[in-house]
Amino acid sequence: MSRRIIIKPSEHVLHVARGETILQSALREGFSLPYGCRNGSCGICKGRILSGSVDYGNYDEETLTEDEKRTGLALFCCASPLSDLVIECHEIGAIKDIEIKTLPTRVEKLERVAPDVMIISLKLPANQRLQFLAGQYIDILLKDGKRRSFSLANAPHDDDVLQLHARNYPGGVFAEHVFTKMKVKDILRFEGPLGSFFLRDTVDDVPIIFIAGGTGFAPIKSILEHVFYQESGKDHKRTMRLYWGVRTKADLYMAELAEQWQQQHDNFTFIPVLSDALPEDNWKGRTGFVHQAVMEDFSTLERHQVYACGSPVMVKAAYQDFTALRKLPRDGFFSDVFTPSTSQS
């Protein structure tokens, strides 16, 4: 038995099939709701249930608290309707016409750029192209039916080869495969593009702060390269800062590229931040937690947009501190959370 859902304020109507979440049904019927991880970790898909009841599903209890549930909030990537619903959320118009595809791809190049970071270059069949927005991701489809999500690090205008940044970590089955067994010319399958982490247009071109943690640099690289491409020849440009937080200097695996951007674009500033610099790093730059570096540089974020990508801890801390202590508008924070998938999880 399907359930009927009315989305406010757009008044769009969708029908949820048995076993579907609210997000799954919305995407199937062509309505673009915000989402990121799709496993209840990031909170991007959080919206309000105005009427009706839901099964909240499995989710991170820090992402959706009991108090929030009592006020009507739910995570649409996890929640399934138990009745007809009226929900409230902001729909995203920019991605509604982009087709989500399942495609084969060939490993074109493997480049180890840090002790635990591999850049994977993927080549699509000659007659195929992937239309996507800078900042979106794809799901690699594994033979056991599981998925691994990777942000696209190349810009949409430079789509001859798709670039992924893969980090190796303990217990990461696919990550271990990438670093020990994957070879050039291997064939993979993926689904995409996915996600709602992309640059929003504003009327008054407010300044932008990007925060990357580790390989969270990948989607931000895509966004920045596309912005630079679009701004070429324009007089008026948005002010942008990139804070890239890693443990050691070796983890800044594309620092030269970010420094090159800073030299070429007077509206862009690059601030690398190390949390555990080694003595041999001879580091003279910023240290500590990356979001704290932003707090030190800005007494207010009242007229800013923030795009944060990295671990759940970093993204959550940035959101809480920026909105509570630096007056960042809640609708001015956009995030993509990287949640490792291990054999134990």
In the chain the domains, ranked by start, together with CATH numbers, are: 3-91 (3.10.20.30), 101-194 (2.40.30.10), 208-337 (3.40.50.80)
- Ordered alpha helix ranges (H), 114-232: 173-180, 217-231
pLDDT at residue 203, as a whole number: 67
CB within 8 Å of 306: residues ≥ 6 apart: 208, 209, 210, 211, 294, 318, 322, 328, 332, 333, 334
Distances (CA, A) of 67 to 2, 295, 315, 318: 29, 28, 21, 21
- Ordered alpha helix ranges (H), the chain: 22-28, 66-70, 173-180, 217-231, 255-264, 290-297, 312-325
CB within 8 Å of 311: residues ≥ 6 apart: 213, 214, 216, 337, 338
pLDDT at residue 343, as a whole number: 39
pLDDT at residue 168, as a whole number: 94
What radius of gyration do the chain's Cα atoms show? 20
Residue 177 CA to residue 303 CA, distance in Å, equals 44
Among 91, 110, 236, CA closest to 164: 110
Each residue's pLDDT expressed in tens, for the chain with a length of 345 residues:
789 999 999 999 999 998 999 999 998 888 889 888 888 888 889 999 999 999 999 998 989 999 999 999 999 999 999 999 999 998 887 888 888 999 999 999 999 999 999 999 999 998 888 999 999 999 999 988 899 999 999 999 999 999 999 999 888 889 999 999 999 999 999 999 999 999 988 767 899 999 999 999 999 999 999 999 988 877 778 999 999 999 999 999 999 999 999 999 999 999 999 999 999 999 999 999 999 999 999 999 999 999 999 999 999 999 999 999 999 999 999 999 987 664 333
pLDDT at residue 90, as a whole number: 85
pTM of the predicted model as reported, rounded to 2 decimal places: 0.87
Distances (CA, A) of 15 to 2, 80, 338: 6, 12, 30
pLDDT at residue 37, as a whole number: 81
